Amino acid sequence: MRPEHELRRDIVTICRRLSERGYIAATDGNVSVRVAGPGGAPRVLITPSGLHKGFIKDDDIVLCDMKGSLIRGKRQPSSEILMHLKAYELRADIGAVVHAHPPLSTAFTIAKVSLARCVLPEVVLTMGTIPTTAYATPSSPEGPEVIKDLIADHDALVLDRHGTLTVGRDVFDAYGKLEKIEHTAQVTLAARMLGRLTTLDAAQLARLEHLSPERVRRAAADPACLGCGGCQPEGRLTNGCSCAGETAPEAEREADRKAIARLVAEELKAALG
């Protein structure tokens, strides 16, 4: 285990990266790392509540026990700490958790369009599918509840109207998966604007299997994605996280394209201005 002061620095580095990339705004988002306390008892270093992550400093990071109680720090821990603790509770392999609000991924949940489809081979190999959780009131006990059945088999989740949750062996690994989610959203957006989103078919998935057998098999059979294998050209959310089975009517597709064009214009305006 690396020294605590180095892990604090890592959290600050990722927070600033999140802010610079526009994945969070102001005090949004939270980042945590699991550490070992006296006798090896697990503890969590986590960002505090109410601080702008772009200006956070090493000594702002707080230390909590696995019930969320403050052990050391000047502020209270993030109001989303229960979601982080649930991920750590369910998986011993998780070393860090990143919760952010990337705009496109979040917009997809508002538009009820799923990212849980086998579209990009690199994503299938590294993360499997990207399911969307049911809606939960932010900073409430609902957060751990909506992730608990998905986090066991997924390293990357889209939270309905509430951004993303990614986990990894360390904070850089968890952050990298967030970048992949937003990249997938960007590619999916572009494909839909061009007229049609297609998925990897069964033969293409089979050729990926030797590179990451367990993950590819799990992605192909994932109930969060009922449309993989190329049989459904569009994916719409039903019951919170699955893909429906029919192409949207042309009028609806045109409305989608206009809405997406507006989102792109707003993103470009924000990026340039």
Asked about 179 being catalytic, the answer comes back as no
Gap between the Cα atoms of 256 and 191, Å rounded: 12
Catalytic residue among 6, 20, 80, 214: 80
- 239 neighbors 164 (Cβ within 8 angstroms): no
Q: Are strands 62-64 and 70-72 parallel, antiparallel or unpaired?
A: antiparallel
Residues sharing a CB contact under 8 Å with residue 203, sequence separation 6 or more, in sequence order = none
Rounded alpha-carbon distances, angstroms, from residue 128 to 139, 142, 247: 27, 25, 23
Gap between the Cα atoms of 176 and 170, Å rounded: 10
> Could you tell me how far CA 50 lies from the centroid of its own chain?
21
Gap between the Cα atoms of 203 and 256, Å rounded: 30
DSSP states along 95-151: -EEEEE--HHHHHHHHTTB---S---HHHHHHH----BPPP--TTSTHHHHHHTTTT
Q: Which residues are catalytic?
A: 80
